Amino acid sequence: MPVSDEILVKRSQKGDHISFEALVKRYEKKIYNLAYRIMGNKEDASDVLQETFLQAFKNLASFKGKAKFSTWIYRIAVNICLMRKRKEKKMLTFSLDVPILTKEEDEIRRDLSEDWSKNPLATLENKELRKTLSNAVDLLPEEYRTVFLLKGLNGLSNQDVARVLRISLPAVKSRLHRARLFLRDKLSQYFREYGSRA
């Protein structure tokens, strides 16, 4: 049975480098993938990965366990990514504002005329579809993409995403919803174009 993060953290805080290495091995792939999707290239993703664990190691003594270790490490990684993006001024700047807000809990809704999810082409085995989806994710503005990646790629709960990004739960839900609407529209376009080629 694998040792919990909490135990590995406590051992690491007492100077057990093997336990810290176990934490690195447990999270390095997830952190790298997240950094790659935010930064857009392998070199920056590798730098973010190294800097994330370096900062985690330096600040491990101050980790009190109020949040989960995974939340803490993701927060470090996301902060590093966003600081680098700001420095490089690579932030994408277009809006995903969706018109029509309903009164029911201010949830954002939009009339989507087609349901592409029932299309037989909607399989991730389709390389062209995977590329279309990946490109669409890359087009998301930073604040929406980060929420989408933490939730979708890394499987964090909405509450954990809120903790990582230090935003409210409604903000997480709103950003996630807008990201999904944007991606759904992009995939709908793909299926329309694919259908016209067939």
Residue 168 lies in a domain: yes
- Which alpha helices (H) appear in 61-168, and where do they start and end? 69-88, 127-139, 142-148, 158-165
169: in domain = yes
Confidence of residue 197 (pLDDT cuts 50, 70, 90): low
End-to-end CA distance of the chain: 51
**pLDDT digits over 120-145, tens only?**
545 544 677 678 778 888 888 888 99
Here the CATH number for the domain that contains residue 174 is: 1.10.10.10
- Residue 93 resides in a domain: no
Of residues 104 and 26, more confidently modeled: 26
Contact 39, 81 (CB under 8 A): yes
pLDDT of residue 97: 44
* 68 in the same domain as 19: yes
Query: How many domains does the chain fold into?
Result: 2
Taking the C-alpha atoms of residue 183 and residue 137, their distance in angstroms, rounded to an integer, is 7
Q: Which amino acid is at 53?
A: F
168 or 130, greater pLDDT: 168
The CATH number linked to 52 is 1.10.1740.10
The parent domain of residue 143 ranges over 116-197
Task: Look at the alpha carbons of 50, 65, 21, 71 in this order and tell me if their dihedral is positive or negative.
Answer: negative
pLDDT mean over 59-64: 92
- Please say if the pLDDT value at position 106 is more than 60: no
The model's pTM: 0.70
Give the per-residue pLDDT at 152: 82
pLDDT digits (tens, 9 = 90+) for 70-91: 999 999 999 999 898 888 764 4
The answer to whether the CB of 92 falls within 8 A of the CB of 141 is yes
pLDDT band for 155, please (50, 70, 90 cuts).
Answer: confident
CA distance 198 to 194: 6
